[in-house]
Structure 1
Amino acid sequence: MTELVRDDVLGNGFKSMDLLHSDDYEGKVKSVLVFRPTDLDSSKAILYVHGYIDYFFQEELADHFNKWGFNFYAVDLRKYGRAMMPHQRPNYTRRIDEYFEDIDAAIEQIKVDGNTEMILMGHSTGGLISSLYMNKVKDDYIKALLLNSPFFELNFSKIARRFLPLFMLFGKYFQNMRVNILPENYPQSLHKDYKGEWDFNIKWKPIVNYPMYFTWLRAIRKGHIELQSGLDIKVPILVMYSDKSYKKSIWSDDIRVSDGVLDVKHIAKYADLIGKDVTKIEVVDAIHDMILSKKKVRDRVYTEMFNWIKLKGLV
C-alpha cells in the first residue's frame, strides 16, 4: 500500500512516497520510495538499495542514471532514514528477508509507473540484501544486478571472530543487547563538516559511534552463510570494489583512497559464488561507497558501470 506522493527532502525534482507494510514485532512498518524520472522517453528503471546506517542521498548517482535514460528509484528500507518511525529501534532486524517486502513494494510501484524493465543496485549491506533477494525472487522483470562494495563477509579481527558464536547467541536470546563497536573514521571522511565533501543528514547517517544490535549481526551472519554456500542468480551481475582496504583504527588520509569498512579480498572471493555471469571490477583508490570517492575516482566508477550496462544491452 502506498501513500501520497510528496516533494522529497533532497529537492531537485526528487519525489517520495511511503510504502506501508504488514505490522512486525515492533508494530507499524513502512519503507520510503524516492524517485526522479529521466527527461528522456524511457520505460527503463533503476532501483537502488542503501547500506547499513545509511539512506539515499547520493544525487549524483541519480543524475547519471537519468542522463542515460533510466527512471531513478531508491528505497529507504524499514527502520532507516526517511522510513524510521518513533517506536522503532534504528536499523534493527531479525531476518534479512524482512527487507524483501520493501523491495517487492518498490518494484510494484515501479511497474505501476509504466516501467517495463529494471536494474537492481545495492551498496554494502544493500548489496547482500539484493543478492539474497535475487536468489529467491526469480523475476524476469529485473535484468541485471549492480553491486557497489557488497557486504559478503564480516571484517572482523581473528580475536573478534573467535567470539562470533557467542555474539550469535546474544543475538538470538538477548534481542535488545547492543554494543558500540563501529569505527567513526569512515563516516567522518565523508561529511563536509568533518573531513569530507558530502552533505547528509547525520540523524539518519550518524557520524559518532552508533549501536549495533547483536540481533542484527545474527541476521547478517546467517545471510553471509547462505551467500557463501553459493547462490544461483540468473541475471548478469557487476561487482565493483576498491583495490585496497583500510585496516587502521586511527585516522589517516589513506582512508580517502581505500575501503574503510570491508575487506575487499572477501568481496572478490565470494563474488564468484553468486551467479554464472559475474563481472568483477577493481577500482584503484575507491572508498567503501564508491560513488562518494574523489571525483576522478568516481568518474571512473561511472564509466566502468555504464560501459558494462551498454555491453549487456541494457541501454
Structure 2
Amino acid sequence: MLGAEYEAIRLTLEDDAEGEVVATLVRRPCPGSRKAVLYIHGFVDYFFQTHLADFYVERGFSFYALDLRKYGRSLLDHQTPNFAHSMSDYFPEIDEAVRLIRADNDLLLLNGHSTGGLVSALWADRVRGQGLVDGLFLNSPFLELNVPAGVRRTLAPVVRALAKGRPTMVLPTGVSGSYVHSIHRDHDGEWDFDLTLKPAEGFGVRVGWLAAIIKGQRQVRAGLGIDVPILSMSSTTTVRGRNADFSTGDGVLDADDIAYLSTRLGRHVTCVRVEGGLHDLVLSAEPVRKKVFDELERWMTAYL
C-alpha cells in the first residue's frame, strides 16, 4: 500500500487482441518543483520502492512511476500477465505519462529498471531530438539474455519461429524464486511487496515476450543514438545457481553484459559498478544502496 502522499492515475489505452488495456501512473508531487522523474519497473514487477521516491522528492523532484500495461496495478482479469508482442507496445503509456508530466515540469529524468531499462532506452532513442527527456538512469537494464553466447545464437531463431504461431506458450525455463525470496521481508529480505503482483516464481516466460526482448536487445547491440546523458549502473558480480548467495550480486542478469552493452546506448554514457549490488540495486543492503544513491546524486548534480 502506498501512503496518502501518492495518487494513482489510470491511463486508458487502445484495446488490443485481449480487450481493454490500461496503465497506471503513480504520482507523488514535490510542491513548487518544476523537475520530475518517471520510474519504469522490470519484468514480474511493479512500483513499490517508496524509498526511491523519497530520495527524489528530498532532492526537489516530483516522482512518477508507471505500472505498465498487464503489470501490477494495471493487470486486468482478462489479460495474460506481463505479456507483450513488442517492447514498443509500452510506448503509448510512456508517451501519455510524459505528456502529463511535461505539462507541469521543465525537466524530466527517466529511470528504468531491468526490462524497464530496456524499454526506457528504446523509447528514449525513438524520441531523440524532441526534448522530451533530459537524462536517463538505468538500474541493471536488461540488455542481454543471461545465457551463454552459443545458447543465445541457437535460441533466437527457435523463439522467433515459435512466437509466430504460439506467442503465449510458456517456456520451460526452470525459473527459481530465490531472488524474490532474497528481497521479501517474509523470507530473507527487508522489503514488503505484494506477492500476487510480483510472485516468487513469476508468471511464466512466454515465447512472444521473449522474442520481443531479443528483438529489442538486437537493436541495442546494433547501437542506439540516445541524445541525453545516461547513467547505467550494475553490480560487480553475477550470481548463479539455486544455492548461490543472492545477497551478494545480481542473481537475474549478467552484470558484465550490462556494463559492456551500456556503451552502445548513446555517446554520453556513465557506467558505474556497485560491489554487492543486487539486481534491483536500490533494494540492496543499506550500505550498498547508500553507495547507489550517492553515485546517482553525484551524476544528477553533474548533468541535470
TM range (shorter): over 0.9
Per-residue CA distance 1:38-97 (angstroms, 9 max, x = gap): 24x211000000000000000000000000000000000000000001111000000110
Local SS of the residue matching 1:268: helix
Unpaired segments ≥5 residues, structure 1: 1-8
Counterpart of 1:213, as a letter, is R
Instruction: Compute the displacement of 1:274 (Å).
Output: 0.8
Counterpart of 2:228, as a letter, is V
Report the equivalent of 2:108.
118
Unpaired segments ≥5 residues, structure 2: none
Per-residue CA distance 1:8-38 (angstroms, 9 max, x = gap): x412411101001111111111100001012
Q: Distance in 2 between matches of 1:192 and 1:57?
A: 13
C-alpha contact (below 8 Å) 2:102/2:108 kept by paired residues:
no
- Equivalent of 1:173 in 158, 165, 168: 165
Superposed CA RMSD in Å reads: 1.3
Report the equivalent of 1:6.
none
Provide TM-score, normalisation by structure 1.
0.93
Report the equivalent of 1:37.
29
Report the equivalent of 1:240.
233
Report the equivalent of 1:193.
186
C-alpha contact (below 8 Å) 1:172/1:218 kept by paired residues:
no
Counterpart of 1:121, as a letter, is N
C-alpha contact (below 8 Å) 1:96/1:220 kept by paired residues:
yes
Instruction: Compute the displacement of 1:180 (Å).
Output: 4.5
Specify whether residues 296 and 49 from structure 1 end up closer, same or farther in structure 2 by C-alpha distance, changes over 3 A only: same
- Equivalent of 2:251 in 249, 254, 260: 260
Local SS of the residue matching 2:134: strand
Q: Distance in 1 between matches of 2:243 and 2:2?
A: 30
Per-residue CA distance 1:99-145 (angstroms, 9 max, x = gap): 00010111111123x11221001000000000000111123131100
Counterpart of 1:116, as a letter, is D
Counterpart of 1:153, as a letter, is E
Provide TM-score, normalisation by structure 2.
0.96
Whether 1:184 and 2:177 are equivalent positions in the alignment is yes
Whether 1:270 and 2:261 are equivalent positions in the alignment is yes
- Equivalent of 2:212 in 219, 229, 232: 219
Residues paired across the two proteins, number: 301
Report the equivalent of 1:127.
117
Report the equivalent of 1:5.
none
Q: Distance in 1 between matches of 2:190 and 2:177?
A: 16
Report the equivalent of 2:3.
11
Instruction: Compute the displacement of 1:157 (Å).
Output: 3.9
Local SS of the residue matching 2:168: coil
Report the equivalent of 2:13.
21
Local SS of the residue matching 1:179: coil
Per-residue CA distance 1:146-190 (angstroms, 9 max, x = gap): 000000000024674333321221122112211242221111111
C-alpha contact (below 8 Å) 1:180/1:210 kept by paired residues:
no
Counterpart of 2:131, as a letter, is D
Counterpart of 2:109, as a letter, is I
Specify whether residues 12 and 286 from structure 1 end up closer, same or farther in structure 2 by C-alpha distance, changes over 3 A only: farther
Instruction: Compute the displacement of 1:264 (Å).
Output: 0.9
Q: Distance in 2 between matches of 1:61 and 1:236?
A: 20
Report the equivalent of 1:4.
none
C-alpha contact (below 8 Å) 1:261/1:288 kept by paired residues:
yes
